[in-house]
Structure 1
């Protein structure tokens, strides 16, 4: 078993083996006398000595060489079998170089030859003490090294010893060097990779060096954090703690310390700081009112919004109680509710906050119970719901209006809900107004809650579903006009189905329908009337124009043979009849409404119309910059009739070649005008000029300005007769749509 203790100092147990019992006692006595630390046990045989070593711990063995059972060398070898490092001093009277050599070879700790006199015991005691202290020191050092190795091997980082130079070359590296840096410890110890030059981040080298040197100059430990670059190029944050190593003269010989990876801690700290900043920003900049109060209901913090809303400074609000600002509660109610809450619970309720000036307003409060620094606190987030309540009241009012309009509308209205049915959708009736019931003969009680196929017969169900599905799939209104076989009878229905889109999804369809059966009947009657009018115009053209052509042809033959004023009169009458026919046909065929509108430049239209009128004695000035929205053909007819009116009336007042017709823009931008410098129209006649058959000449049809009025009305415009700037007649056309 192991012998001796592991600590220096204290008593030294010595086993003295010598076959001379008297010498053994003497030696023991002197050894204990010269060194009080020695506790000597003497035996006379090696067998007894081995038994003693097996039974008890000793710090040293002192043995004679020449003994009956075994000599000192053999005894040493026997001791070494169980106690390989136990100090063994060979104290022999038989001294020779051979014995000394054998003893050393056998691993003796010390060799001392017996002499005469008592001084030898002091030398022996000193040899024993030195041997034991050396062994104890070695054992203590070994134990420290073992513990250090255990500590280093289990540290979350690396330990080092290096020279205090800018590159910090490593002399010793232990621990998790490779896990930390990617480099083996031997690589750094050999100088193949230099810590300060290749591992410390370039941007951190100078600051790290300065911090370490400042601590060393002050004789203190140092702590630094910096970044390193690993073998694979990753960046890590490390924390280092170290100190200087000094020699006996106080000179710095190097640095030793510990380095560990704090990347995750730094990231956690950074996230914590970032989250803290976000929470603080949210707290201070929240559009909601936020306060924190303790378990006694006392407000300990409040954000800017609640201070502004309540009219308090922050210091004024902090310290008040919850029931000081909530007019609807009291201390007992607050504490009772909050004491019943568990950590993490959230309660929602409505309250009424009271401002510093005494006014109140409704709020919605979300209250959460938290644990802050081991104490229960409450976070209250409140929102002013005055506008929401006003909106809800407005929605209720609008709902009542909607229901009133829905029920009393003259058109038939219905509301369908879009309901998912597997991979398909169905349309379920939710509302049907009275007008729809009367029109269709269907009762809301019979179809509300049903799909089209459930509510109607198969044909009508398919008919209505087709429009509803088209509206749903196209996500836009769908118009229809069709004969429906309702219980009330077959009617022509004109309607529109529109989608209701909520959050990007079509949730409902709204339908508006109208019975247009009578309208369609009137439309067919008007179409028949129009066809008869067309037929009349064709008959007029055929039955009147053809005989007129014959009469004109024969008249021309007569005029070739003789010159007669009467024949000229007949020719004039024919001309008037032709004009009358043209005007009647124009009135019959151009219709009441202009629908085919284009962008038309007014000056160009005037030039084209002027070219179709006999204007040898007149001049046109097209002084317009307008582009108007008009039916180009009808605008041309309008201008032709106005030009013809000006030229024909100017011909009655010579000189005939001085009439000027001007087309220009009205100053207020509402339209344009056509004016001449002829004799004008008397005030009393201006109200009648647009009447049918009204004319101031014997050969006029009286239809020209009537056609103008019809064409103006067809466009939705207005026309007015005024005096021209040069004394003639001015026609102002207003309400004209100007093209951009």
Structure 2
């Protein structure tokens, strides 16, 4: 802040206000006498004196050991010819203390009738500032190319303005000097701005610092947003003698700020669109919402969303003002001259600034640039423009965000559709299985039971080997019906699992199977989570398989002859790290047959149904376990059930 004598010309005070920059002490005298006429706040602070105490004081009360105090007239005459001098001297504080200083003396001529001596002082421990640098500092304040500067009278009329400000309105100082500031071309483009400025000048003239933003329009139409200030220049008695108007062009900063705010708003709105898209239950509705959001939020003029159907891309949603002749009815996905097809194949988004420079065939030649983004593996979004370079990386980023939301919902709808189709398929299969079970239970089993009843009556009165064979065939048919019913029931997912003791379930299963002379060894105390009845079926079938196929005698024994079948056979059940096993010490299963034993209908016995082990596998897999057949330690068969979690 510059403090001046009331008699100092207003133009002089305004010029000094512009010179008050940096951290140096400023003392100003007129060339006519070495008397302080103006000081800045820094000088007051360093000299420990008030501005009222300093203004009007002779320089020799403030400084000493400088040559110009010995002959002021000679000094000012010499300064007029050199413009600049640097001296060393001593400053005297108000408390009597002193400190050495460098003094830069420069002649200023703010008006045609008044010249000044500006004494810029610095503590001597700092390096003297070169003359050119001090000149640049003063000129930078008033005439910096990136700043607007002007000096006003207290009534708001313009005294002077720098070249930057004048160039902006393509005017000379003569054409604007003396006019009210608000009636100059900087402000006349907007009455509201003129009114605001008039009020702010009035406040500045009353001693209030003013800072505000204003948009100025140049004659050729260019505009600039300016961070403006009005600084009152006051005398030692507080009277405002002038107003310094400064402005800094902040157009780029404001533009960046608007871009950031716009981007933030767009991202927020796109996330809101994601919520909308997430509630849609039809694919076509998702494509429609994509195009709507592209128009409303991304502000694209022309947008289209294609769905991949087979080997072509088909438009599912287009901008409302886009005619049918402006897009293809379908596009082959393998087309090399089509950007949408390329993007879908590569899954890489694309910005083309000039379509004429690329080997592509736009629908109409008026389209100049294009933005293309894949919608997951569902399709492609594309926006085109009739001007080149219409899209940038921000457009790409926002479009990819929108497409990711759309792809997520389309994935969900596809999964939902697959589950619905699968459910319908399973329901149809279950209906067929139910019909089969009913047929097996009634239409097959009942006639077989009737036939067996008549056979028993006939065998009671007739001794015939042929009748025995008939009975074996009927028994096998009934067993086959039972196995088929079990197979149809146990191929389903387990839903009634509970913690089951393996030793207990094995003992129960052993008691329900005709085992002859076979023996059982249970070497486990493990418990598992399973459906008890279905796990019991597993052990029954595995035990029966060992009894029926484990020994050579068993393969030749008549059906139902368990004593021969189970003779000299030991069946053992034990624990594995992640499951359990059932093994025997019989003949084992040939390697070639081990790959087939779980297939439905496969059996090595002439009277076997071929479903026993297949049912075992179905039940095991229904529990999400695994089963495989291998060789036991004694060379027999061993079935390992694994992936069984702890209960």
Structure whose CA Rg is larger: 1
TM (norm. structure 2) is 0.36
TM (norm. structure 1) is 0.32
